[in-house]
Amino acid sequence: MTLIAAGTMVLDGQICRPGWLTVSGRRIGDCGCGAPPHPPDIDYPDATTVVPGFVDMHVHGGGGAWYTDGHPDEIASAAGFHLRHGTTTTLASLVTASPDDLLAAVRGLAEATRKGVIAGIHIEGPWLSRERCGAHDPGQLRDPDRAEIDAVLAAGDDAIRMVTLAPELPGSAAAIRRFVDAGTVVAVGHTDATYEQTRQAIAAGATVGTHLFNAMRPLHHREPGPALALLQDPGVTLELIADGVHVHPALVRGVIEAAGADRVALVTDATAAAGCADGSFRLGTQEIDVVSGVAHVHGTSTLAGSTATMDGLFRNVAGLSSDPDEGLAAAVAMTSTTPARVLGLGHVGSLRSGMDANLVVLSQVLEISSVMVNGGWVSDQGSHWPRAQPPN
């Protein structure tokens, strides 16, 4: 058993100065605010902050690797890159592809989920709006089809945690019900839906808004569109890409103030370009160009995912509040607790007794110092890191 103490530790949402916890195997044992019960094995100074490991529920790749092909080495490389940036729980996101390619990628990611490399699969496409497709291949978009959905669920073998679809498409209502019945979280995104169509999707079981404001019909005073419907419903969790590019910081703050941190999940929507120098990359079948760290579909002004990492998003939102404690607590909720709850991952997202020992050690300026996953420290290379158990 290892006793860890730190100048600041966020335990079960409570900011403790100081705080401590014990790690036994892959789990957190005892924990508490104040001085530890005996001299700690690891004692971090007052300027250090320990928070739960980050949970990214929408990420396509990173470090030059992607999830879209379902190749084991690519999956491990992308997950390892984000792990070194504090993401101890990853939901690997797919993009629009042909039926055969989609099934192949799902099978590869399902195997990675069984091995604990990732926590599950997020299918973003092909059931999206052509008018709001963003970086998705418009030639592969299609309406929801029961036979294809059944085939995808079978290939996923219970690893499909979330699916994004456009609720205005024919067959979407039945698709939402089918996914919900299968225990899959349904998100509204890449959509040209009206306000009324979005409310109907929520009534049918949709509970997430995919990267709010991006790739959806914009807010208008006579046609409020999907964003308002998603914001208004207390049962809907709102994804935000708080990288300073996708959503203006003032709007990020406004959404957090209006909805509350317990309804906001920060996501990177990162591509293989995350952590790489500017250049040309691929997202599914689409070519993307990265200039000054911003990714666009080749030859267009359309954003194509991001180059963000969760530690960067954490820093961005922690600094939005004038109250440091309030900002820190909100950042922890939006990067860990909220996404874990939405995905039904009861063993991650918080530092408390019995949870997986996933934690991030941050410096005074909230830069990554160390990362622990399942009770083991992550090396700088990340080539050998403890695998998570398959999700509960």
Catalogue the active-site residues. Answer: 269
User: 111 labelled as ligand-binding?
Assistant: no
Laid out side by side, the sheet with 368-373 consists of 14-16, 8-11, 49-52, 359-362, 368-373, 376-377
Among 390, 385, 265, 236, which residue's Cα sits nearest to residue 336?
265
User: 296 labelled as ligand-binding?
Assistant: no
Kindly state the helix (H) or strand (E) to which residue 49 belongs, with its residue range.
strand 49-52
- Residues 6 or more apart in contact with residue 224 via CB below 8 angstroms: 195
Can you tell me the distance from the alpha carbon of 63 to that of 77, in angstroms, rounded to the nearest whole number?
Answer: 7
User: 316 labelled as ligand-binding?
Assistant: no
CB atoms within 10 A of CB 188: 29
User: 222 labelled as ligand-binding?
Assistant: yes
CB-hemisphere CA count at 13 Å for 384?
Answer: 0
Q: Which amino acid is at 75?
A: I
User: 168 labelled as ligand-binding?
Assistant: no
User: 116 labelled as ligand-binding?
Assistant: no
User: 305 labelled as ligand-binding?
Assistant: yes
Can you tell me the distance from the alpha carbon of 313 to that of 101, in angstroms, rounded to the nearest whole number?
Answer: 31
Q: Calculate ∠ Cα 147-153-389, nearest 5°.
A: 175
Can you tell me the distance from the alpha carbon of 85 to that of 274, in angstroms, rounded to the nearest whole number?
Answer: 11
- Residues 6 or more apart in contact with residue 253 via CB below 8 angstroms: 320
Q: Calculate ∠ Cα 140-142-179, nearest 5°.
A: 120
The binding site comprises 124, 135, 190, 211, 214-215, 222, 246, 303-305
The binding site for Zn(2+) comprises 124, 190, 211
The binding site for substrate comprises 135, 214-215, 222, 246, 303-305
